[in-house]
């Protein structure tokens, strides 16, 4: 059994994102390519984004800090700290409306 603080990890990744020229930072906290389930804390500086990409499987975005907008086709959903966004099974992108950290959970389809 392993325990970690997502609050502390989000803070750490936000600090890293602020230093990076890309304005982004991420750390996988569980799983990986060899697992079905993967959880990653992603931090984005305000105005940064994860460009539109394919959905690798069932996924959710739990907003840990700040505000984000999940965009897919002509639809968009905003989330703030504490919100859980279900990622649609289509191309999508994530935009930081302010400095934000999220927990991305993906159950990859094989």
Name the one residue in this structure whose structure tokens are 């703030």. Answer: 80
Residue-number span of the structural domain to which 53 is assigned: 6-108
Number of domains making up the chain = 1
Task: Establish if 33 belongs to a structural domain.
Answer: yes
Question: Which CATH number goes with the domain that contains 29?
Answer: 2.60.120.10
Task: Establish if 1 belongs to a structural domain.
Answer: no
In degrees, to the nearest 5, what angle opens at C-alpha 104 toward C-alphas 17 and 4?
75
Whether the per-residue pLDDT at 34 is higher than 90: the answer is: no
Write the pLDDT tens digit of every residue in 59-73.
999 999 999 999 998
pLDDT average, residue stretch 72-96:
93
In the sheet with 67-72, reading across from the earlier edge strand, the strands are 49-53, 92-96, 67-72, 75-80
Instruction: Give this prediction's pTM.
Output: 0.91
């Amino acid at each position: 059994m392993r325990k970690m603080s997502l609050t502390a990890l989000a803070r750490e990744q936000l600090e890293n994102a602020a230093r990076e020229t890309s304005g982004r930072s991420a750390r996988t906290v569980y799983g990986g390519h060899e697992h079905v389930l993967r959880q990653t804390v992603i931090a984005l500086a305000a105005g940064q984004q994860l460009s539109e990409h394919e959905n690798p499987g069932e996924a959710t975005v739990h907003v840990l800090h700040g505000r984000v907008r999940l965009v897919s086709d002509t639809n968009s959903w905003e989330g703030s700290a504490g919100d859980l966004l279900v990622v649609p099974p289509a191309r999508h992108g994530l935009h930081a409306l302010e400095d934000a950290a999220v927990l991305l959970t993906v159950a990859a389809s094989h």
